[in-house]
Structure 1
């Protein structure tokens, strides 16, 4: 079994990579979710699967573990979708 990530910087990079893959393979859903202001509902299953993968690789003792994954969602999926027309912005 692989060692769990215990470094917050490495954990954040892992979270960003996971969210980046989710966004890449679901570009149409991301665009629709941003346009309709339903990104979290529309991507619920994919984000839950990504979060589960992240948790399986990162030490449960790490403080702010939840925050790191949520920040990655905003940094990678939401901010990069800023060019999409939406009532959100």
Structure 2
């Protein structure tokens, strides 16, 4: 996994911090911040469940709407759309 470098640490991040010898105050702070990670994970899981199996079909997708040449729209599994692609799309 490497360095913990995101705002809200996951349980795995906290375990790695413990294994690396982080001090108790840092671990306690990480545990407090991890509450947000758990909230985010619940939201992500809800979105995945809600849109599971949804396909784009024959409509305009993100990439086509942006006019991005050299890229294809993901029509079968929206979860395969990269964060980078989503960040490029603003329409």
| TM-score, length-scaled by structure 1 | 0.31
The structure whose RCO (Cα within 8 Å, separation 6+) is larger is: 1
Task: Compare the two structures and name the one with the higher helix fraction.
Answer: 1
